Amino acid sequence: MTLHGLLQIALFFGVLLLVTKPLGLYMARVYKGRPPGLSVVLGPLERDIYHLCGMRSEEEMAWKRYAQSLLLFSAFGMAVLYVLLRCQQDLPLNPRHFGSLAPDLAFNTAASYVSNTNWQAYAGESTMSHLSQMAGLTAQDFMSSAATMGALMALIRGLVRRGTTTVGNFWVDLVRSILYILLPLAMVSSLMLISQGAVQSLTGSVFVQWLQPRHGNQPVQDSDGQADRQEGFGASQQVLALGPAATQVIARDLGTSGGGFFSANSAHPFESPTPLSDLLLLLLQTVVAAGLTYTYGKMVGDTRRGWAILSVMLVVLSVGAAITYQAESAGNPRILDLGVDLSITDQQPGGNMEGKEIRFGVAQTALVATATTATSTGAPNGMQDSLSPLGGLVPLVMMQSGEVILGGIGSGLSGMIVLVIIAVFISGLMVGRTPEYLGKKLEPYEIKMASVAILVMPIATLVATAFVLMTETGRDAIANPGPHGLTEVLYGFTSMANNNGSAFGGLNADSLLYNVSGALVMLLGRFWTTIPILALAGSFAAKKIVHISEGALPTHMPLFAVWLMIVTVVVSAMSFFPALALGPIAEHLLMTD
Amino acid sequence: MKDQIRPALTMVLLLTVLTGLTYPLTVTGLAQVFFPDQANGSLILREGKVVGSRLIGQYFDKPEYFWSRPSATAPFPYNAAASGGSNLGPTNPVLIDAVKTRVAALRTADPGNALPIPVDLVTASGSGLDPHISPAAALYQAKRVARARGLDENSVLTLVSKHTEGRQFGLLGEPRVNVLMLNLALDALTAEPVSR
């Protein structure tokens, strides 16, 4: 670790904390229907959208109707995306003449984007037409994240309201999230990203003469048949893939979805060209999730509750980032004997540089690896598969927390509120009092729904990992030998079940087996948790406020924050420790032996 | 449920047009007006010809050029139409062997140089297109390049320090040297006496 590295990490947390309150306040006003400023311009557009959809924006929905709208919207979105990917060959804006996607890959990709996962079993720059990238993938980055912001709003309204059946209007939450929050932020920040050097054009590619002409010594790797054609290109010229990348990069980070325009994601210099662009993208992944904790506090009438939740998230995140940073700084002991200099100085980044970019170095790469898995974004700026064993363990644990350490925008805080319910319930059992949160009694129905929401993720992850590992196709997809191979598969399904989308990229996951099982896991991971969360919203909304009994655990105090942190860690640690012991922990012991 | 079908379908289509076409196309238009250089790939032009991008590295293995970092793109290194890293884990013997081969290649090209090799010069970057090496990696190669070009080592070192970028705002990221820009400058330096 170096002073520069620690300062960069501190700078990120500092800016994030500064932005939390103003953005949170703004969002609270948006969802109350009084967005300041922008409504002058966008208000008429908002009303036109409602009019064209033939709906009344004043209509209040019960939780079941809210859930139906959300599911229908997601189902249609998935169908449209599937058709787009299956037909891209015959559609415009395809300058490099890519073919349409195979059915299983298109199904996997559509499930992936509509569940806000952005798991990519394809390489962006050699698979997707510009139309698919924009109207398919970029659009879903907005829509899938706005849908879960809506579900969060329903849950908060449920907690605030009393004796009613309704939790808001899904369409209104959806449209407002996009029009007043995501889209304006995206417009401004994509221009900032482009100013740093991210590409944004409709051209397919540019041909460049190599400065040193290629000759026989240059190693050529084998790549099943495709090699010859590409070889012909590469022999005389370098082909620079271009496209509307910046707008997609911004949308996927802001929407915490994470699908790269290019295969290398944020490691690609055309996606994140400078250390400043890296910090910008990192902030975009986190500001909305952090701001929503303030919005939450504001809406329930006690901002201390929002800060209590945010402090739990940020403490876990900073501990995770520190562990990753330390592990990556240490470098790979196995190459030390080969005459390699791993030291960290002002002249070289040092440490474990396999899979990392010089401009980011170890500190920024470690921070992003942690934060992009703690939020459900999954857009790392290096190769997760080449992280040191402990450096790779941290991102796994971040996801296995259920994506509640900031998490996805909307889904992260919803998940954390579910954990709050569990924490209140357990503490209530310990002191022998009826558990209540915000004056609402927690009864068997709420605990059931909270358990359903929490349990689906570890079950889906572990069952799918075990199932795939029992098949030969499943094992053949593994790239690295030993415990690391197990980690690749475990990481893959952890990422999909938690709607993160990052990968240990060595895993060759574009096969019928992975595409179909992965798609099911992603859909389960998203919608099997969203429905019980909306059920909780409905059930809370119907409850009366009870008199807060003395001796109940106050949920805005540091004591509760610590308790919540323990519950969060224990819930995930109990489910995943055995698997982690066989994967990254075993590898760490092997490596340092 | 039935009365939600129309809003659901219309909403998907309207929001697709708004976020999937209007937003990216508007930004493309603005970018082409305000940041045309960056938006089109930060291309380097020499005598009207595109010789590369300031952001995308190229492959070098001749002694008279500074070498870039190893690249794991398929089917050949620095394939800017198929980015990606090696995805080799730290305990994978393939990684250890690859590092051994790279160390040997650097030693063969510069037999007199027994200094330890900066780690970034023997490990593959994340994108496979990293345009930079560390200043240490450039200094390690300076003697070899000077010898191969018949240049004074100091003039090469001057060129390296001219092409060394510090941390952004003195804080962010790591100091670095853009290999393609440095090699272009080297070629220009060597070509000068001839062209005059």
* Model confidence pLDDT, tens digit, residues A559-593: 999 999 999 999 887 889 999 999 999 999 999 88
The answer to whether A54 faces chain B, any CB pair under 8 Å, is yes
Q: How many residues does chain A have?
A: 593
Q: Is A214's CB within 8 Å of B76's CB?
A: yes
CB–CB contact A183 B18 (8 Å): yes
The amino acid at residue A314 is L
* Structure confidence by residue, pLDDT tens digits, A412-449: 999 999 999 999 999 988 888 888 899 999 999 999 99
First-to-last C-alpha distance (Å) of chain B? 81
The candidate with the shortest Cα–Cα distance to B27, out of A131, A284, A206, A193, is: A193
Instruction: For residues A251 and A144, give the distance between their C-alpha atoms in angstroms, rounded to a whole number.
Output: 11
- Contact of A227 with chain B, judged by CB distance below 8 Å, is answered with yes
Smallest Cβ–Cβ distance between B84 and the set A76, A263, A357 belongs to A263
CB contact under 8 Å between B125 and A356, yes or no, is: yes
In sequence order, the 6+-apart residues with CB closer than 8 A to the CB of B17 are A135
* CB–CB contact A275 B38 (8 Å): no
SS3 state at A253: helix
Q: Does position A395 have pLDDT exceeding 70, yes or no?
A: yes
Calpha distance A110→A139 (Å, rounded):
12
Q: How far apart are CA A333 and CA A379, in angstroms?
A: 27
Residue A420 structure tokens: 């709050």
Residues 109-168, chain A, touching B (beta carbon < 8 A) = 123, 125-126, 134-136, 138-139, 141-143
| B42 close contact with A: CB closer than 8 A | yes
Q: Label residue A234 by pLDDT band (50, 70, 90).
A: low
Q: How far apart are CA A96 and CA A123, in angstroms?
A: 14
Measured from the Cβ of residue A337, the count of other Cβ atoms closer than 10 Å reads 9
User: Chain A within 8 Å of B167 (Cβ-Cβ)?
Assistant: yes
- Residue A589 to residues A52, A72, A484, B62, B76: CA-CA distances in angstroms? 61, 48, 12, 40, 35
* DSSP label at residue A335: G
Cα–Cα–Cα angle for A286, A272, A377, rounded to 5 degrees: 35
Two tokens at A226?
């495709």
Does the pLDDT at position A552 exceed 80?
no
- What was the pLDDT predicted at A225? 34
Please say whether the beta carbons of A395 and A513 come within 8 A. no
Structural domain boundaries in chain B: 1-40, 41-195
Q: Would you state the pLDDT for residue B193?
A: 53
pLDDT tens column, A86-120:
999 999 999 999 999 999 999 999 999 999 999 99
pLDDT given at position A235: 66
Residue A77 has pLDDT above 60, yes or no: yes
Q: What strands, in cross-sheet order, belong to the sheet with B164-165?
A: B132-133, B176-178, B164-165
The residue extents of the domains of chain A are 3-210+238-592
DSSP chain B: -GGGHHHHHHHHHHHHIIIIIIHHHHHHHHHHHH-HHHHTT-EEEETTEEEEETTB-----STTS--------SSSTT-TTS-------TT-HHHHHHHHHHHHHHHHHSTT--SPEEGGGSS--SSS---EE-HHHHHHHHHHHHHHHT--HHHHHHHHHHTEE--BTTTBS--EEEHHHHHHHHHHHHHHHHH-
Question: Does B60 reach chain A within 8 Å, measured CB to CB?
Answer: yes
Mean pLDDT of chain A: 93
Query: Which chain A positions have a beta carbon within 8 Å of B88's beta carbon?
Result: 354, 385-386, 479-480, 506
Distance, in angstroms, between A23 CA and closest chain B CA? 21
Q: What is the pLDDT along chain B (196 residues), one digit of tens a residue?
A: 789 999 999 999 999 999 999 999 999 999 999 999 999 999 999 888 899 999 999 999 999 999 999 999 999 999 999 999 999 999 999 999 999 999 999 999 999 898 899 999 999 999 999 999 999 999 999 999 999 999 999 999 999 999 999 999 999 999 999 999 999 999 998 876 543 3
Is A221 a residue whose pLDDT tops 50? no
**Which run of H or E residues covers position A561?**
helix A558-580
Which residues, 6 or more positions from A157, have their beta carbon under 8 angstroms from its beta carbon?
A167, A168, A299, A537, A541
Q: Which letter does DSSP use for residue A473 in this model?
A: H
Q: What is the predicted ipTM?
A: 0.96
Minimal-distance CA residue of chain A relative to B85: A355
Other Cβ atoms within 10 Å of A482 Cβ, number = 17
Angle (nearest 5°) at CA A407 between A402 and A410:
110
Assess whether pLDDT exceeds 70 at residue A367: yes
Kindly list the distances between the CA atom of residue B28 and the CA atoms of A126, A243, A362, in Å, as whole numbers in the listed order.
Answer: 21, 10, 33
- Could you please report the per-residue DSSP string of A58-73? T---BHHHHHHHHHHH
Burial (CB < 10 A; 0-12, 13-18, 19+), residue A469, is middle
**Predicted local confidence at residue B195, as pLDDT:** 39
Minimal Cβ distance to B23: which of A186, A262, A383: A186
Beta-carbon separation of A338 and B168 below 8 A: no
**A225 touching chain B per CB within 8 A:** no
Among the partner-chain residues A251, A334, A348, the one whose CB lies closest to the CB of B134 is: A348
According to DSSP, the β-strands at B117-118 and A340-341 are parallel
Instruction: Encode A166-203: b = buried (16+ Cβ within 10 Å), e = exposed.
Output: bbbbbbbbbbbbbbbbbbbbbeebbbebbbbbbbbbeb
B45 touches chain A (CB under 8 A): no
Name the helix (H) or strand (E) containing A205. Answer: strand A205-209
How far is Cα A260 from Cα A271, in angstroms, rounded to an integer?
Answer: 8
* CA distance linking residue A586 with residue B13, whole number of Å: 49
The fraction of chain A above a pLDDT of 70, given in percent, is 96
pLDDT in tens, A54-72: 999 899 999 999 999 999 9
CA distances from A227 to A216, A223, A303, A575, B82 (A): 16, 5, 58, 43, 12
CA distance readout (Å), B81 to A64, A237, A273, A421, A512? 47, 11, 17, 49, 25
Please check whether residue B9 touches A, CB under 8 A: yes
Please report the residues numbered 99 through 158 in chain B whose beta carbons come closer than 8 angstroms to any beta carbon of chain A.
Answer: 99-100, 103, 107, 115-120, 122-137, 139
* Contact partners, residue B83, CB within 8 Å, separation at least 6: A123, A125, A262, A263, A264, A267, A268, B73, B127, B128, B129
Residue A558, exposed/middle/buried by CB under 10 A (0-12, 13-18, 19+)?
A: exposed
Q: Is A428 left (phi over 0), alpha (psi -120 to 50) or beta?
A: alpha
Contact call for residues A30 and A42 (beta carbons, < 8 A): no
Q: Which residues pair with B46 in a beta bridge?
A: B49
Alpha-carbon span B157 to B139, nearest angstrom: 7
Give the integer Cα–Cα distance in Å for A358 and B175. Answer: 8
CA distance B182 to chain A (A): 11
Tell me the pLDDT tens digit for each residue of A273-283: 999 999 999 99
CA distance B41 to A263: 17
CB contact under 8 A, A139 and B85: no
Angle, in degrees to the nearest 10, between helices A512-542 and A63-87: 160
Report the Cα–Cα distance between both ends of chain A, in Å, rounded.
23
Q: Quick one: tokens of A330?
A: 């240490």
**What pLDDT does residue A551 have?**
67
Instruction: Over range A448-475, report the average pLDDT.
Output: 96
Torsion of Cα atoms, B118 then B96 then A332 then A493, to 10°: 130
- How far is the CA of A208 from the CAs of A25, A231, B57, B69, B84, in angstroms? 49, 15, 11, 19, 19
Q: Per-residue b/e over A120-158, b at no fewer than 16 CB within 10 Å?
A: bbbbbbbbbbbbbbbbbbbbbbbbbbbbbbbbbbbbbbb
Q: How far apart are CA B116 and CA A580, in angstroms?
A: 35
Q: What percent of chain A has pLDDT over 90?
A: 87
Is residue B66 within 8 A of residue B176, CB to CB? The reply is: no
Question: Distance from B36 to chain A by nearest Cα, in Å?
Answer: 9
Of the partner residues B41, B90, B99, the one whose CB lies closest to the CB of residue A270:
B41
Q: How many residues does chain B have?
A: 196
| Cβ A512 vs Cβ A48: under 8 Å | no
Pair A386, B89: CB distance under 8 Å: yes
A592 in reach of chain B (CB within 8 A): no
